[in-house]
């Protein structure tokens, strides 16, 4: 019997930016229900990896597959299965939260009734009903992140890609984010990046450490905390020549 393909699979993905190798043969896979934490110091290649998965950047070599199909086969169809929230949370500052969600629904090709239902669902799920009429440009960073997440979830994607979702959140907002990711995980695959080990440990069931564009560690998060901490520190301390 043929085995079911992974929800997401990266095969030897490489990417150069400005003459510098940002990713060097990155390979890993993700199953539905997985919450994979992409850990690494600044410049390790986390955001580039996530941008490639989201389809907004393309690899120089290698392949990205969703359920066994290359994401470039039918870009539109593939992107309808991915929700992406970049680190800077790009919102339209002149639109209200409700208008921004409606605009995203339109861009995703949702019909009017489906759009209305999806916007209502996400406003409730992300607890944004109280700010639905406020301009996106006037929101706090925590609220902006929630609106970004609502935009990414509007079309119920199979794969959620979150770039540094905990950046700039206060402890209460961070706890809310952890609870939300816990609720979202069973129906889909989630991949998130962070450079904070504690954050990854709190939200993920698997961790992948990237360093100088290479995968240096990929394992479930079930060992003692100190062990991973020591490993991350050891990897992060390695110079680029050691990674190559």
Partner 1 sequence: MSALTIAHIDLKRLAVRPFAWTLAGIALAMMAWQFLLGLSAFMHAQPSAPGPGSSPGFTDAVVAPYLLNYVQLCLVIAPLITMQALAGERSAQRLALLAASGASGAQNVLGKFAARLAFLWLLLMLVATMPLVLAHATHPDWGQFAAALLASALCVAALAAIGIACSAFTPEPALAATAAILIGEALSLIDAGVRMTGGGGGWLSWLALHTHLEAAMRGLVRSEDIAYFLLIIGLSLALAARRVATERERD
The residues that touch partner 1, with contacts defined as CB under 8 A, are: 17, 51, 54-58, 75-76, 79-80, 82, 84, 86, 88, 90-92, 94-95, 99, 103-104, 106-109, 151
Q: Which is nearer to partner 1, 159 or 200 (CB)?
A: 159
CB of 5 to partner 1, least distance (A): 22
d(CA 72, CA 78): 8
Element (H, E) at 152: helix 141-153
CB of 133 to partner 1, least distance (A): 13
Count of other CB atoms within 10 angstroms of residue 166: 21
CB of 183 to partner 1, least distance (A): 23
> Side-chain half-sphere of 7: how many Cα atoms within 13 Å?
20
d(CA 88, CA 81): 22
Q: Which is nearer to partner 1, 96 or 205 (CB)?
A: 96
CB of 84 to partner 1, least distance (A): 5
d(CA 188, CA 219): 19
Q: Which is nearer to partner 1, 20 or 233 (CB)?
A: 20
CB of 128 to partner 1, least distance (A): 18
* Contact (CB, 8 A) for 71 and 54: no
Q: Which is nearer to partner 1, 135 or 236 (CB)?
A: 135
| Start-end of H helices in 7-139 | 46-54, 75-79, 97-107, 112-125
Handedness of CA 88, 128, 54, 221 (dihedral sign): positive
Q: Which is nearer to partner 1, 46 or 79 (CB)?
A: 79
């Amino acid at each position: 019997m043929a085995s079911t393909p992974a929800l997401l699979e990266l095969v030897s993905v490489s990417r150069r930016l400005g003459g510098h190798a940002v990713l060097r043969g990155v390979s890993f896979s993700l199953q539905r229900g997985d919450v994979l934490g992409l850990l690494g110091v600044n410049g390790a290649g986390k955001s580039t990896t996530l941008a490639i998965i989201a389809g907004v950047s393309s690899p120089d070599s290698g392949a990205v597959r969703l359920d066994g199909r290359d994401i470039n086969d039918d870009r539109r169809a593939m992107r309808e299965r991915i929700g992406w929230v970049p680190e800077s949370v790009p919102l339209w500052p002149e639109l209200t939260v409700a208008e921004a969600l409606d605009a995203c629904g339109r861009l995703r090709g949702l019909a009017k009734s489906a759009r209305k239902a999806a916007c209502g669902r996400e406003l409730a799920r992300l607890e944004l009903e109280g700010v639905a009429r406020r301009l996106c440009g006037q929101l706090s960073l925590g609220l902006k992140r929630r609106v970004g997440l609502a935009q990414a979830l509007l079309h119920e994607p199979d794969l959620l890609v979150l770039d540094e979702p905990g950046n700039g959140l206060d402890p209460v907002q961070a706890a809310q984010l952890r609870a939300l990711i816990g609720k979202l995980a069973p129906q889909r695959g989630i991949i998130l990046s962070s450079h904070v080990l504690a954050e990854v440990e709190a939200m993920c069931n698997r961790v992948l450490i990237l360093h100088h564009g290479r995968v240096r560690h990929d394992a479930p998060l079930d060992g003692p905390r100190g062990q991973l901490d020591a490993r991350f520190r050891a990897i992060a301390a390695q110079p680029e020549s050691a990674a190559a």
